[in-house]
Amino acid sequence: TTQTADRATAATVEFRSLRREFGATVALDGLDLAVRPGEFLALLGPSGCGKTTALRMLAGFEHPTSGEVLVDGEDVTRVPAHRRDAGMVFQSYSLFPHLSALDNVAFGLRMRKVRTAERRSRAAELLELVGLADKGERYPHELSGGQQQRVALARALALRPRVLLLDEPLSALDAKVRLTLREEIRRLQRELGITTLFVTHDQEEALSIADRVAVMRAGRLEQCAAPAELYGRPATAFVAEFVGTMSRIPGRLDGGTVEVLGQRLPVDGDVPAARDVDVLVRPEAVLVRADEDGTARVAATSFLGAAVRVMVRLGDGTEVKADVPAHEGAALGLGAGVRVSLPERAVLVAERRGE
Ligand code: ATP
């Protein structure tokens, strides 16, 4: 298939000890990351952690204070942006307002002196690829946000770039369009087999679209792993809390166990020194049952569809989120007394916050 053919020629990308300072601000603090050929990699992290700076460095719009950027093993750190072969799509649609959709897509080809007939047919092909075959003559203001972003995508692909860089391309779109376009970007990327970096601060988006997710924090890489691994085996407490909604419950580590909510649960790995810790647990792992004598109370509930997310307030004020099947949720009304328990092996232990 064309997919394998393309994949064989897809580029690798590598960031080596990338550092970028803006005055006193350290945007990147020694970023190391290798992207595989044909991979769809999401850069995920809170605002200001350096995602955009890393992407701009790969595009050549930004230069490192130190460190290197390699594409296919070649050091491109000092190669100017126009010779980097990167196609980029931004959050704002950034189309040329005075050009039709077709001419927007053909623009780069015109700059490269591709003949008129050829660039028009190539631009038309790309518009078809993004599902806008019949919108070529429209101007940006005559297109919806989602359609404009499709045009931007087609334009980014027109020069057959070695890497595709997407900087929060879905953030400005409404929820429904966002989901459709997300699926479509993924399908297109698979078809073309093009190595892709996708910046987002939305964990759900990152987990659903990427082959691997690189979680960044304060200019560094926390963990880079496949979505299931990141979710199931977060390497740090930061990843655990950022990816997924975890509750923090005070506990006490002692020997090979942690004492939490009146239970004693085994802890994997070395036996650490006894101390107060926080126990992190995901809502789907927490068990809640109605108990009139329970000191914990239901403080809020929200309907998620198949499940109800119940916010439980413990006697000491700690809040614990639990997802219960919708049919059980009915018995857990606001203010109801409950008992909370945790299954073995569903918890992570983190240092007590603030200590
Ligand atoms: P966001 O999701 O908010 O876009 P980000 O993770 O993409 O955040 P960056 O845009 O890479 O973060 O910024 C990283 C840090 O570097 C921030 O503290 C930012 O203020 C700073 N920074 C980025 N570009 C510049 C610049 N041109 N001049 C000064 N500071 C900058």
pLDDT tens, position by position, 112-139: 888 999 999 999 999 999 999 999 999 9
pLDDT mean over 299-312: 89
* Domain spans in the chain, listed from the N-terminal domain onward: 2-241, 245-351
- How deeply is 24 buried, as exposed, middle or buried, from its count of CB atoms within 10 A (0-12, 13-18, 19+)? exposed
Return the ligand 1 atom nearest residue 20 CA: 16
Question: Any idea what the Cα angle at residue 175 is, between residues 196 and 230, rounded to 5°?
Answer: 50
Q: What is the mean pLDDT of the chain?
A: 91
pTM for this prediction = 0.82
Residue 219 Cα to ligand 1 midpoint, Å, equals 10
Dist CA 317 CA 293 (whole Å): 17
Residue 22 Cα to ligand 1 midpoint, Å, equals 9
4 — pLDDT class (breaks 50, 70, 90): very low
pLDDT of residue 1: 35
**Ligand 1 neighbourhood includes 60 CB (under 6 angstroms):** no
Mutation to probe ligand 1, out of 20, 31, 49 (largest number of atoms < 8 A from CB): 49
Above pLDDT 90, what percent of the chain? 70
**Ligand 1 neighbourhood includes 22 CB (under 6 angstroms):** yes
Query: CATH code for 2-241?
Result: 3.40.50.300
pLDDT at 65 over 70: yes
Dist CA 343 CA 139 (whole Å): 57
Residue 50 Cα to ligand 1 midpoint, Å, equals 6
Residue 315: C-alpha distances to residues 281, 299, 342 (Å): 18, 12, 17
Q: What is the pLDDT of residues 241-290, one digit of tens each?
A: 888 778 899 999 998 899 999 999 998 777 778 999 999 999 999 999 99
Residue 216 Cα to ligand 1 midpoint, Å, equals 13
Any idea what DSSP says for residue 135? G
Nearest alpha carbon, ligand 1 atom 25? 22
Q: Is-contact 209 319, C-beta < 8 A?
A: no
Place of tokens 């990351």: 33
Q: Is-contact 185 105, C-beta < 8 A?
A: no
pLDDT mean over 318-323: 93
Nearest alpha carbon, ligand 1 atom 11? 50
Where are any strands of DSSP class E within the chain? 13-22, 25-35, 40-44, 66-71, 74-75, 86-89, 163-167, 195-200, 212-217, 220-225, 247-254, 257-260, 263-266, 275-281, 287-290, 296-303, 307-313, 319-325, 337-341, 347-351
Q: What is the pLDDT of residues 132-158, one digit of tens each?
A: 999 999 999 999 999 999 999 999 999
**Ligand 1 neighbourhood includes 2 CB (under 6 angstroms):** no
**Ligand 1 neighbourhood includes 48 CB (under 6 angstroms):** yes
pLDDT of residue 256: 86
Nearest alpha carbon, ligand 1 atom 7? 52
pLDDT of residue 5: 43
Q: Dihedral, CA atoms, 148, 149, 154, 156, nearest 10 degrees?
A: 120
Residue 200: C-alpha distances to residues 63, 90, 206 (Å): 21, 11, 7
Fold of 245-351: OB fold (Dihydrolipoamide Acetyltransferase, E2P) (2.40.50)
Any idea what DSSP says for residue 292? T
Candidates 15, 92, 93, 87; CA nearest to 51 is: 15
**HSE-up of 189 (CA within 13 Å, CB side)?**
25
Q: What is the pLDDT of residues 169-205, one digit of tens each?
A: 998 888 889 999 999 999 999 999 999 999 999 998 9
Nearest alpha carbon, ligand 1 atom 31? 22
Return the ligand 1 atom nearest residue 50 CA: 11
Nearest alpha carbon, ligand 1 atom 17? 48
Three-class SS state of 18: strand
pLDDT mean over 224-251: 88
**Ligand 1 neighbourhood includes 47 CB (under 6 angstroms):** yes
Q: Is-contact 90 55, C-beta < 8 A?
A: no
pLDDT of residue 355: 46
Dist CA 81 CA 60 (whole Å): 4
Q: Is-contact 158 164, C-beta < 8 A?
A: no
Any idea what DSSP says for residue 348? E
**Residue 265 forms beta bridges with which residues?**
258
Name 75's Cβ contacts closer than 8 Å, sequence gap at least 6. Answer: 68, 69
β-pairing, 296-303 vs 287-290, is: unpaired
User: ipTM score here?
Assistant: 0.91
213 — pLDDT class (breaks 50, 70, 90): very high
8 — pLDDT class (breaks 50, 70, 90): low
Q: What is the pLDDT of residues 67-107, one digit of tens each?
A: 999 999 999 999 999 888 899 998 887 899 999 999 999 99
- Write the DSSP assignment of 39-91 as a string of letters: -EEEEE-STTSSHHHHHHHHHTSS--SEEEEEETTEE-TTS-GGGS-EEEE-S
**Ligand 1 neighbourhood includes 19 CB (under 6 angstroms):** no
